[in-house]
Amino acid sequence: MNILFVGDIVGKPGRAAVRHFVPALRERLGLDLCIGNSENAAGGAGITPESADELLESLDLLTSGNHTFSKREIGPYLDRPGCRQLRPANYPEGTPGRGFAVLDTRGGARLGVVNLEGRVFMKPLDCPFRAADRVLASMRADGVRCVLVDMHCEATSEKNAMGHYLDGRASAVLGSHTHIQTADARVLRGGTAFITDVGMCGPWDSVIGLRKESAIERFLTQRTASFDLGSGDVHLQGALVEIDDQTGRARRIERIQERMPE
C-alpha cells in the first residue's frame, strides 16, 4: 500500500495547500490512504470541528499533538462516533477521543495509525514508548500487520529513539511538530520507514508558520507577541511510504514537497 502523511497543517494557508494538492497526489501517486497532522489547523494553534471536517474532505484521517485541546469545542467532537480526528494515545485516561485507529483500503488491506506525543521539553504525559507497546499489541492481536506512527515531539533524539524502539514492529515512524522537514528519510534495518520530521503545510515566508515580525519580536524582547500567521510561499510537505501489505515492512520512504502557485 502507498500512504501519504502530511506534516503539521498550519491555519488557512495549510488547509488550502491540502485541498489543492492531496487529490492530485492521490491520483498521481496511486495513494491508498492520506493522513495529516491537524493540531495547528485552526488559526495556527488547535483544531475546531469545522477545520477538521474541511481537511477530512481531502484526507482519510487526522492526527494531532500538544495543541489538540487549544480550542475548547474540539472535546465533544473527538467523542463523536466514527470521528476521524485522533489525539495522542498517551494522554491520561478520561481524555476525550482516541489515540489510534484502523483504516481499510479499497484493496482490502488494513492500516493501523497510532498518534503519540513526546515528553522531552513538553508536557509530562504518560510514557509514549509504553503506550506504543500497548497499542501495537492490541493491533497485532486484531491481525493488523501495517502500522503507521505519528511521533509528535520536540526533541529529535526522542523521535529517533522511538524509530529504533519500534523498528520491525511498526511499518513507519514519522516525526511531526517542529515544522521543518528533515533530510534523514530511510528504511531502518528491521523494515520500519523513518523520518525525524515530515515538515509542515503552510507559509514558508514565516518562522515555522508564524509571521516573521511577531516571531522575531518574541526573541528580541522575551515578551508575548501576537500569534499571527505568515501568508506567503505556501508549501505542502510530507512523506510517501510504500508498505508490503503481507509483511508490514516498509519498502521505501520518500519526502514530498509541493509549492502552491502564487
SS (H, E, C) 79-145: CCCCCCECCCCCCCCCCCCCCEEEEECCCCCEEEEEEEECCCCCCCCCCHHHHHHHHHHHHHHCCCC
The pLDDT of residue 44 is: 86
pTM for the structure as a whole: 0.96
Residue whose C-alpha cell is 500512504: 3
Alpha helical stretches, state H, the chain: 11-28, 49-55, 74-78, 128-141, 156-165, 212-221
Domains in the chain, start-ordered, CATH in brackets? 2-259 (3.60.21.10)
The pLDDT of residue 51 is: 98
Which of 236, 146, 159 minimizes the C-alpha distance to 194?
159
The pLDDT of residue 228 is: 85
Backbone CA torsion sign across 133, 136, 142, 145:
negative
Q: What positions carry a catalytic annotation?
A: 67
The pLDDT of residue 143 is: 96
The pLDDT of residue 190 is: 98
Q: Are β-strands 8-9 and 200-203 bridged in parallel, bridged antiparallel, or unpaired?
A: parallel
The pLDDT of residue 43 is: 87
- Collapsed DSSP state (helix, strand, coil) of residue 64: coil
Cβ-based burial of 235 (10 A; exposed 0-12, middle 13-18, buried ≥19) = buried
The pLDDT of residue 210 is: 87
CA 103 to chain centroid, in Å, comes to 15
Residues of the chain below pLDDT 70: none
Q: What is the pLDDT of residues 111-141, one digit of tens each?
A: 999 999 999 999 999 999 999 999 999 999 9
